[in-house]
Amino acid sequence: MSLEVRRVTKAFGGFCALDEVSIAVETDALFGIIGPNGAGKSTLFSVLSGFMPADAGEILLDGHSLSRLSPHARARAGMVRTFQVPREFRHLTVRENLMVAAPGQTGEHLASLFLRPGQVRREELRIAQQAEEIIEFLRLTTVAELPSGSLSGGQKKLLELGRALMVAPKMLLLDEPFAGVNPVLTGMIVDRIRELNARGIGFVIIEHELAALTRLVPRLAVMDRGRIIASGPPEKVLKDERVREAYLGAVT
Amino acid sequence: MFYLQLALNGFIQGLVIGLGALAITLVFGIARFANAGTGDLLTAGAYGALATHKATGSLVLAGIGGIAVAAVASLLAYILVFKRLMGRSVMALLLASIGVGFAIRAFHGLLYGHSQYVFQIPLSRPYVFFGLRISALDLALMLTTALAVAMLFAILHFTAIGRQMRAVADNRELARVSGITVGRVMTALWLLVGAVSAVAGIILGMKTVVTPEMGWDMLLPLFAAAIFGGIGSPAGAVLAGILLGIAQELSTPFVGFTYKIALAFAVMLFVLLIRPQGLFGTIERVR
Amino acid sequence: MEGYLVAIGIVVLINVLLALGLTLQYGRTGLINFGHVGFFAIGAYTSALLALQGVPLVISFVAAGAFAAVSAWPVGMVSLRLRDDYFAIVTLGFSETVRIVISSEKWLTNGMQGIPGLPRLYEGIGGGLPAQLAVLVTLALVVIASATMIQRITNSPFGRVIEAIRDNEEAVTALGKNPASFKLRVLAVGAGLAGVAGAFYAHYITFIVPDQFGPIVTFYVWMAIIIGGVGRISGTLVGTAILMLFLEGSRFIRDLIPAIPEVEMASIRLGVIGIALILFVTYRPQGLMGDYTQR
């Protein structure tokens, strides 16, 4: 799945959050986005996933324009985003959070619920197994039956990631997946992302954890004040003067 | 000419709707909930005026009496019910306001019975301007409304308490933190809401009849106008009310008398779907 | 005496069916439906009009439920995207519009004069107690089936999505599921139950007029589920029983004290409902049987 963002612009009143942002992410790429706070990174995700309309510009998924697709349709098309601040279903347990994310469930159709109970049951077992696998992988076994509202911040982040994985998307937009996650687990998630990427899933990752990100992505873009100020391989980008200025302020 | 006369009648009806919508939008903007008991505050004003008129024979005193009754009823509703529910869910406040409306309606039904009362207004020949008939009462009511609206706007924009009310409407937390006593603002709000509703109810009562259901029957047009004008915009509410009143009257030759309420409903739907902020509202989250 | 008990039983169960619909819509899904009586009316009139054309009651009952469910579609399409309070007002407007249409379209519904002479269920058995009992049993079976259906829906993947929507609608959207579609289906099922209740009602009292379908009915049902405990089926039953106790009780008082005219009683009932709503919402929002989920 390829993603092409062409000169996307989004303003809130007088404030320009996205200024003609253009990115091209090839099929099954691993692409990073970094930048200081307020640069517009999460806004970009919101616009890409359809939660906010763009004022101008185009978004193309596999060559097809997304402008007509509602947010849930874009997710169904294969592009799934996570949220920077986790949005867990707090009254549901961790396990239920994961299970509800599975796509195409027969049990979500009222008629099928009553006419094909056997199939619904079988699917539930399969989905439960999938969820179990993710629970184990993300080290959430001890809290699996707890309401997700009672998890710690880091655990909620993991759940957010786990839920997105359950959807089996073709491209994942991850918003700060490593924030609040311990280094060992971060390493395991990095490995898992590489694994999934090898199987054909593309990733666009916003992160502040530069250590983890630069190990993972061969290409990244830097945003500052709504614009892309640099893009390319991490070693080159991080040495760029403009990037340092953006993070540290202009060097006098 | 026929249509202009209809429009004129609609204009006066529109004043009722506009004032009622004003009461709704004030509560929505400052206390942040939809008060479904607003209609019954109108009724309270009408009955208050009726009783005062019977007692004193003076229309002016009747007006004052009606305003006083409704203002007190409104304030009581706040103190006894809404105050305890501030911060609770939408459902809680909505249902409580329905309950308040029911209670007021029951009170009127028991106290005054269900027969229709009419204001004993001295008959007079209507004035005729350019072929349009307009009675002295209509002129007086229009003047009273203009005065009431003007006073309300003056209070909102030129007094300290009015500024505080607008501050709370803009940002409640910030207002509280900057030292505004929310309690006092609320008291002022609910007294004003009662007064405005009373004027609407009195006009309605004088132009038609006074029954316990009169205000509740108007609830949908009131909400429609509040939404049409833009929730939170007092000017919008009044303007939208007038427009809706005129539209309702102009539609009667085509859709018949009984579908007037349905027209209000249609307008409300149209606004919510096409332009949810209404005429002058801010892009409030309607969705 | 038995006749009276059976009659009460029928009325209670009709109200339970209405309340079950609202329990699914509000108790389980959080939809503030203030227009429930509108679906009740659609069901009643649909069955009545079909029955008068000679359609067998079994079919007209099914049609009543189906038509009421279908009518939920435009209501939902238009209003489900709206915030809670706007949704409530729009649904209220819907039920009032239904009542206005019923009152005005004389050619269809005989307008304000209503439709008399409706056939009863099981008329073939001959009137009197056996037929009434048959109605009661049928109604009870329908109620049990409906309650079972609601439980099944709640404890299913569908129900899981509904719970997720209540917690965080945007996150559900981000996972590729359309919350509006789920809410719409819930609205339709609840409306269908109200429609079937309407059909039972019409063929029980045999004479329907528009005035029987005003908003007070909606808020009777709301009171029942609030008092009983929102979202719990046991709460629905308890609340409806208490509601009926109150309504029947008020009739008894009137029989004992004939000096109170019916309109006065109506006002007293209105006032008690209003105050009960206020008190329960303020002091015991979880009702007598407890809230389904602490929200």
Q: What is the pLDDT of residue B285?
A: 54
Other chains touching B, judged by 3 or more CB pairs under 8 Å: C
Same domain, A180 and A56: yes
Q: Which residue of A has its CA nearest to C167?
A: A89
By residue range, what is the domain housing residue B69? 24-216
What is the pLDDT averaged over residues B248-259? 84
Query: Of how many residues is chain B composed?
Result: 287
- C214 alpha carbon, distance to own chain's centre: 12
* A171 is a domain residue: yes
Q: What is the pLDDT of residue C13?
A: 95
* Strand A79-81 relative to strand B132-134, pairing: unpaired
Q: Do A108 and C164 touch (CB under 8 A)?
A: no
* B37 is a domain residue: yes
Same domain, A135 and A202: no
Residue B80 carries which DSSP code?
I
Does residue A47 have a pLDDT over 80? yes
Tens of pLDDT along C24-56?
999 889 899 999 999 999 999 999 999 999 999
Tens of pLDDT along C107-141?
888 889 999 989 888 877 766 788 888 999 999 99
- Judged by DSSP in three states, B117 sits in strand
Least Cα distance to B64 among B245, B198, B254, B159 occurs for B198
Sequence-ordered alpha helix ranges (H) in chain C: 2-22, 36-52, 57-79, 84-104, 106-109, 129-154, 157-167, 169-174, 179-205, 215-228, 233-256, 262-283
Model-level pTM greater than 0.80?
Answer: yes
Q: Do A167 and C161 touch (CB under 8 A)?
A: no
Same domain, A82 and A171: yes
* A157 is a domain residue: no
Same domain, A178 and A235: yes
Average pLDDT, chain C: 90
Q: Do A75 and C189 touch (CB under 8 A)?
A: no
What is the pLDDT averaged over residues C165-172? 92
Nearest by CB: A120 against C157, C164, C177: C157
Does residue A165 have a pLDDT over 60? yes
Are B238 and B24 spatial neighbours (Cβ–Cβ below 8 Å)?
no
* B6 is a domain residue: no
Q: What band does B167 get if pLDDT is binned at 50, 70 and 90? A: confident
* Whether C282 contacts chain B with CB within 8 A: yes
Tens of pLDDT along A194-248?
988 988 889 999 998 888 888 899 999 999 888 888 888 988 888 888 888 777 7
Other chains touching A, judged by 3 or more CB pairs under 8 Å: C
Q: Which residue of B has its CA nearest to C295?
A: B89
Domain boundaries, chain C: 2-212
Distance between B233 CA and the closest CA of chain C, angstroms: 17
Q: Do A100 and C164 touch (CB under 8 A)?
A: yes
Are B91 and C267 spatial neighbours (Cβ–Cβ below 8 Å)?
no
Q: What is the pLDDT of residue C10?
A: 92
- Judged by DSSP in three states, B210 sits in strand
Which residues of chain B are within 8 Å of residue C284 when distances are taken between CB atoms? none
Q: What is the pLDDT of residue A20?
A: 87
Number of domains forming the structure of chain A = 2
Same domain, A243 and A178: yes
Q: Do C271 and B258 touch (CB under 8 A)?
A: no
Which of C173, C184, C189 best tests the A interface by mutation, with the highest count of A CBs <10 A?
C173
Q: What band does C292 get if pLDDT is binned at 50, 70 and 90? A: low
Same domain, A220 and A244: yes
Number of domains forming the structure of chain B = 1
Tens of pLDDT along C261-276?
888 888 999 999 999 9
What percentage of chain B has pLDDT greater than the value 90? Answer: 58
Same domain, A10 and A73: yes
By residue range, what is the domain housing residue A127? 91-150
Tens of pLDDT along B183-241?
889 999 999 999 999 999 999 999 999 999 999 999 999 999 999 999 888 999 999 99
* Whether C175 contacts chain A with CB within 8 A: yes
Residues 6+ apart with CB under 8 A from B49: B62, B63, B65, B66, B69, B119, B198, B201, B202, B205
- C278 alpha carbon, distance to own chain's centre: 21
CA gap B37, A65 in Å, rounded: 48
Q: Do C264 and B109 touch (CB under 8 A)?
A: yes
What is the pLDDT averaged over residues B43-47? 96
Tens of pLDDT along A85-113?
999 999 999 999 999 999 989 999 999 99
Q: Do C85 and B94 touch (CB under 8 A)?
A: yes
Nearest by CB: B102 against C103, C264, C270: C270
Between A154 and B243, name the one with better pLDDT. Answer: B243
Does residue C94 have a pLDDT over 90? yes
* B272 is a domain residue: no
Average pLDDT, chain A: 89
Does residue B150 have a pLDDT over 80? yes
- Judged by DSSP in three states, C176 sits in coil
Tens of pLDDT along C9-28?
999 999 999 999 999 999 88
Angle between helices C262-283 and B90-112 (to 10 degrees): 150
* B4 is a domain residue: no
Q: What is the pLDDT of residue C294?
A: 46
Q: What is the pLDDT of residue B168?
A: 86
CATH of residue A20's domain is 3.40.50.300
* Whether C208 contacts chain A with CB within 8 A: no
SS3 letters for B125-160?
CCEEECCEEECHHHHHHHHHHHHHHHHHHHHHHHCH
Q: Which residue of B has its CA nearest to C286?
A: B92
Which residues of chain C are within 8 Å of residue B92 when distances are taken between CB atoms? 281-282, 285
Choice among A151-155, A201-205, C132-136, C288-292 with the minimum mean pLDDT: C288-292
Nearest by CB: C93 against B107, B220, B287: B220
Average pLDDT, chain B: 89
Give this complex's ipTM: 0.89
What is the pLDDT averaged over residues C238-253? 87
What is the pLDDT averaged over residues C141-169? 94
Q: Do A70 and C178 touch (CB under 8 A)?
A: yes
Q: Which of A117, A150, A183 is the last residue of a domain?
A: A150
Q: Do A113 and C178 touch (CB under 8 A)?
A: no
Q: Which residue of C has its CA nearest to B114?
A: C263
Which of C90, C267, C275 best tests the B interface by mutation, with the highest count of B CBs <10 A?
C267
Q: What band does A250 get if pLDDT is binned at 50, 70 and 90? A: low
Distance between C289 CA and the closest CA of chain B, angstroms: 18
Q: Do C156 and A113 touch (CB under 8 A)?
A: yes
Q: Do A82 and C152 touch (CB under 8 A)?
A: no
Nearest by CB: C171 against A87, A108, A120: A87
Query: Of how many residues is chain C composed?
Result: 295
Nearest by CB: A72 against C158, C176, C185: C176
* Tokens, residue B243: 């427009």
CA gap A204, A196 in Å, rounded: 13
Sheet holding A56-61, edge to edge: A15-25, A3-12, A56-61, A64-65
* B259 is a domain residue: no
Q: What is the pLDDT of residue C295?
A: 42
What percentage of chain A has pLDDT greater than the value 90? Answer: 40
Q: What is the pLDDT of residue A37?
A: 84
Distance between A100 CA and the closest CA of chain C, angstroms: 6
- B284 alpha carbon, distance to own chain's centre: 21
Q: What is the pLDDT of residue B110?
A: 92
**Chains B, C: CB pairs < 8 Å:** 135
CA gap B206, B119 in Å, rounded: 6
Which of B98, B104, B216 best tests the C interface by mutation, with the highest count of C CBs <10 A?
B98
Residue carrying the six token digits 């006894």: B80
Q: What is the pLDDT of residue C73?
A: 94
Q: Do B92 and C103 touch (CB under 8 A)?
A: no
Name beta bridge partners: C17.
none
